[in-house]
Structure 1
């Protein structure tokens, strides 16, 4: 008797997020804290300073460069 469950070893096509939904442009300001978290780093004074410099140099596009 066939089961209704999809094969767990294969990724399901309906569970793949389309690329256009992965982008962060929301019309809001990107904060240094946001950038640190997206980079997978802990929020520390050193990492916040890194994020401030990166945002100053690249603007909000810095966020997009870190995401897929």
Structure 2
């Protein structure tokens, strides 16, 4: 005689996190190094210069555009 019941608290396997719960920044300043690493590039002088220009043009939103 089995007493097991389906686990009602289990979420479906196809559940995704809603966009309103996803965050890319903690409210701290974004450094050129942060932007380079978030873009998947190596920390080279050229990539750091690219990140400095991008941050100067777009501000911290540049990181938001790279991360989901």
Question: Same fold judged by TM-score > 0.5?
Answer: yes
What CA RMSD, in Å, does the superposition of the two structures yield over aligned residues? 2.0
Q: Runs of 4+ in structure 1 displaced over 3 angstroms?
A: none
Residue matched to 2:53: 53
Identify the structure with the greater helix proportion.
Answer: 1
Which structure would you say has the larger Rg?
Answer: 2
The residue number in structure 1 matching 2:14 is 13
Q: Which segments of 5 or more consecutive residues in structure 1 lack a partner in the other structure?
A: 1-11
- Could you tell me how far 1:47 is from its partner in structure 2? 0.2
CA distance in 2, matches of 1:43, 1:24: 20
CA distance in 1, matches of 2:44, 2:21: 29
* TM norm structure 2: 0.71
Q: Residue 30 of structure 1 corresponds to which residue in structure 2?
A: 30
Separation (CA, whole Å) in 1 of partners of 2:22 and 2:45: 28
Q: Gaps (5+ residues) in structure 2?
A: 1-12
TM-score normalized with structure 1 length:
0.71
